[in-house]
């Protein structure tokens, strides 16, 4: 759903409330869904997707990103980042504009500690965090690295209490207090998070968050460690937590069932303030909320806000940097940077896109430093798309002639996809045939003869990339 579908402006995270209660008009308030009067009450036009009273919690246009490629991302099966690569990634993410960088625990290895110190010395605009177990040994090492803050985590689900660290809630709470007070005493930020929050007891969760909030933790974190949560569950938990603590709320969402972006969006709607991401979503198993996907989703909600915070044209370069470092390809269906993210193919789409790109695009490629393409050389093409290519080539053909040439493109494309060079060559042959009088509309044999003379088609390779496309 696009909150701006009705053109409403949403000022910095806080929706203007319309009327007293913007319920979906299903008759509850005496109005039918289309706003007609029922029960003798005055008719009122209602948009069922309009902001509601509860939207005062909404932080969709007021959030910070904690970029964890250099922590969660290092937990991706293929990841090995040497110091140079870590620094390149840190600098690129900083230039993109993320507010925080989260780094691997300095307790993990000697090189991890040295790398953490090196990144702290870069003097980046982004705040540098490191991520540790809820243990004084780790905390003592972390505070010596020069970080701006420490993210502390411990599992609270029965699975992790029994099979990971073996500690009960009393011990966890006592240690959390000790670690938080210690980090705070060093004058840096501290966040406390429960691992596997969605399989933890709600009373345990709220009680420990309330305790750490009272002692002045900067943020609490909710983690969907196993990727089991759905948006409704995320909304309910974050909204409940919002009513219990005064500090900021971070969410860390794994993508095992493909919910990570939707869950992050919903978390912001419920009042979360910080979202964890990694480039391309890399992390344990299938990873977490991807930076690019999250930014696309939030851009769709409020383009101006997202453009003002982040250097969107850098996204492709950052994804390529990380993809190369961990030896994966950027997925073809990746938001924004997937190779066909801005390629339009079917004739109906192509016509509308050529008239107004907003017809089939919610993201503007130019805002991400990219270009849109209209693919022409296939059997789903239409004469409007072909006409735009004819005009780009500077050929003069009537609409009737273009429709005739389009029929030939479709006939050939029924056998195999035509490259842009194929299409251009056909259009040029068609045009010169018309000019010389050797061809008229509907003369299929004459056209075939002319094409054969020009050895058409010249290119036989089916394109894997949108090379059969036209830049518009
Ligand atoms: C869900 C997440 O992604 S959390 C972040 C995961 N990150 C990492 O694991 C960082 C990389 N990890 C490492 O380098 C190592 O695991 C270290 C240095 C942290 C610990 O190594 P080791 O001491 O050899 O222990 P090992 O990894 O085998 O087991 C984890 C230990 O931490 C304890 N532990 C696990 N989670 C926590 C926690 N959140 N808080 C405190 N202790 C914890 C376990 O009980 C276990 O303790 P044990 O030594 O008494 O058995
Ligand atoms: O520290 C956190 O909030 C999250 C830790 C983590 O990576 C997870 O639980 O998946
Ligand atoms: Zn994680």
Residue 172 Cβ < 6 Å to ligand 1: no
Look at residue 349 and give its three-state secondary structure.
helix
Q: What does the pLDDT read at residue 455?
A: 75
Residue 227 Cβ < 6 Å to ligand 2: no
Residue 37 Cβ < 6 Å to ligand 1: no
Please check whether residue 61 is in contact with residue 10, taking contact to mean a CB–CB distance below 8 angstroms.
Answer: yes
Residue 191 Cβ < 6 Å to ligand 2: no
Q: 52 pLDDT band (50/70/90 cuts)?
A: confident
Residue percentage of the chain with pLDDT more than 70:
87
Report CA(14)–ligand 2 centroid distance (Å). 29
> In angstroms, rounded to a whole number, what is the distance separating the alpha carbons of residues 262 and 294?
9
Q: Kindly state the tokens that stand for 167.
A: 């500690």
**Is the per-residue pLDDT at 45 higher than 80?**
no
Pick the residue whose CA is nearest to atom 45 on ligand 1.
165
Pick the residue whose CA is nearest to atom 6 on ligand 2.
225
Residue 83 Cβ < 6 Å to ligand 1: no
Look at residue 50 and give its three-state secondary structure.
coil
Pick the residue whose CA is nearest to atom 21 on ligand 1.
108
Which residue of 157, 195, 198 sits with most ligand 2 atoms within 8 Å of its CB, as the best mutation to test the pocket? 195
pTM of the model: 0.88
Compute the average pLDDT of residues 445-465: 71
Complete DSSP assignment for 315-345: HHHHHHHHHHHTT-PPPTT-TTTSTTTTEE-
pLDDT tens per residue, range 241-288: 999 999 999 999 999 999 999 999 999 999 999 999 999 999 999 999
Closest CA to 453 of 468, 438, 442, 466: 438
> In angstroms, rounded to a whole number, what is the distance separating the alpha carbons of residues 74 and 113?
14
91 CB-contact burial (10 Å; exposed 0-12 / middle 13-18 / buried 19+): middle
Q: What does the pLDDT read at residue 55?
A: 85
Which atom of ligand 1 is closest in space to residue 155's alpha carbon?
Answer: 39
Which residue of 209, 227, 228, 252 sits with most ligand 2 atoms within 8 Å of its CB, as the best mutation to test the pocket? 252
| 431 assigned to active site | no
Which atom of ligand 1 is closest in space to residue 166's alpha carbon?
Answer: 45
**Is the per-residue pLDDT at 175 higher than 60?**
yes
Which atom of ligand 2 is closest in space to residue 194's alpha carbon?
Answer: 3
Residue 225 Cβ < 6 Å to ligand 1: yes
Report CA(133)–ligand 1 centroid distance (Å). 7
Q: Tally helices (H) and strands (E) across the chain.
A: 16, 11
The active-site residue, picked from 349, 378, 431, 454, is 349
Q: Kindly state the tokens that stand for 62.
A: 């007021």
pLDDT tens per residue, range 192-247: 999 999 999 999 999 999 999 999 999 999 999 999 999 999 999 999 999 999 99
Residue 195 Cβ < 6 Å to ligand 1: yes
Q: What is the mean pLDDT of the chain?
A: 89
Q: Kindly state the tokens that stand for 32.
A: 């039918």
Report CA(227)–ligand 3 centroid distance (Å). 9
Residue 197 Cβ < 6 Å to ligand 1: no
pLDDT tens per residue, range 319-328: 999 999 999 9
Whole-number Cα distances in Å, 16 to 21, 56, 303, 308 = 12, 8, 18, 21
pLDDT tens per residue, range 124-135: 999 999 999 999
Q: How far is CA 366 from the centre of its chain?
A: 17
Report CA(195)–ligand 2 centroid distance (Å). 6
Compute the average pLDDT of residues 66-84: 98
Compute the average pLDDT of residues 145-165: 97
Report CA(65)–ligand 3 centroid distance (Å). 15
Exposure of 140 in the CB half-sphere (CA atoms within 13 A)? 3
Taking phi over 0 as left and psi of -120 to 50 as alpha, with beta for the rest, 159 belongs to alpha
Q: 470 pLDDT band (50/70/90 cuts)?
A: low
Residue 224 Cβ < 6 Å to ligand 2: no
The ligand whose atoms approach the alpha carbon of 221 most closely is 2
pLDDT tens per residue, range 96-120: 999 999 999 999 999 999 999 999 9
């Amino acid at each position: 759903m696009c909150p701006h579908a009705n053109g409403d402006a949403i000022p910095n995270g806080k929706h203007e409330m319309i009327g007293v209660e913007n319920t979906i008009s299903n008759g509850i308030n005496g109005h039918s869904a289309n706003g007609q009067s029922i029960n003798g009450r005055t008719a009122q036009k209602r948009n069922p997707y309009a902001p509601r009273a509860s939207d005062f919690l909404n932080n969709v246009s007021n959030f910070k990103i904690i970029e964890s490629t250099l922590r969660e991302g290092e937990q991706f099966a293929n990841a090995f980042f040497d110091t140079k690569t870590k620094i390149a990634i840190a600098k690129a993410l900083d230039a993109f504009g993320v507010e925080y960088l989260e780094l691997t625990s300095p307790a993990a290895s000697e090189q991890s500690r040295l790398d953490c110190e090196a990144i702290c010395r870069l003097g980046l605009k982004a705040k540098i965090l490191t991520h540790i177990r809820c243990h004084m040994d780790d905390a003592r090492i972390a505070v010596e690295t020069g970080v701006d803050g420490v993210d502390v985590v411990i599992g609270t689900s029965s699975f992790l209490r029994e099979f990971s660290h073996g500690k009960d809630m009393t011990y966890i709470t006592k240690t959390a207090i000790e670690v938080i007070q210690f980090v705070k005493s060093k004058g840096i930020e501290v966040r406390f998070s429960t691992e596997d929050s969605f399989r933890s007891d709600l009373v345990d969760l709220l009680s420990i968050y309330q305790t750490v909030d009272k002692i002045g933790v900067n943020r609490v974190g909710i983690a969907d460690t196993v990727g089991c949560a759905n948006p409704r569950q995320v909304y309910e938990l974050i909204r409940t937590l919002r009513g219990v603590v005064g500090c900021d709320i971070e969410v860390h969402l794994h993508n095992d069932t493909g919910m990570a972006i939707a869950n992050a969006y919903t978390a912001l709607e419920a009042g979360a303030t910080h979202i964890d991401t990694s480039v391309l979503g890399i992390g344990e198993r299938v990873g977490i909320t991807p930076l690019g996907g999250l930014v696309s989703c939030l851009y769709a909600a409020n383009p101006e806000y997202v453009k003002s915070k982040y250097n969107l044209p850098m996204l492709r370069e950052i994804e390529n940097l990380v993809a190369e470092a961990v030896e994966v390809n950027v997925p073809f269906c990746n938001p924004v940077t997937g190779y066909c993210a801005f390629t339009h193919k079917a004739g109906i789409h192509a016509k509308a896109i050529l008239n107004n790109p907003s017809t089939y695009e919610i993201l503007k490629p130019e805002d991400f430093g990219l270009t849109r393409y209209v693919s022409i050389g296939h059997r789903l093409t239409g004469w409007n798309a072909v006409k735009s290519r004819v005009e780009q080539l500077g050929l003069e053909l009537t609409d009737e002639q273009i429709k005739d040439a389009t029929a030939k493109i479709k006939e050939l494309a029924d056998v195999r996809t035509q490259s842009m060079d194929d299409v251009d060559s056909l259009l040029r042959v068609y045009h010169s045939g018309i000019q010389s009088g050797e061809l008229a509309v509907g003369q299929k044999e004459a056209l075939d003869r002319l094409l054969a003379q020009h050895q058409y088609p010249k290119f036989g390779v089916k394109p894997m990339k949108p090379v059969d496309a036209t830049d518009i």
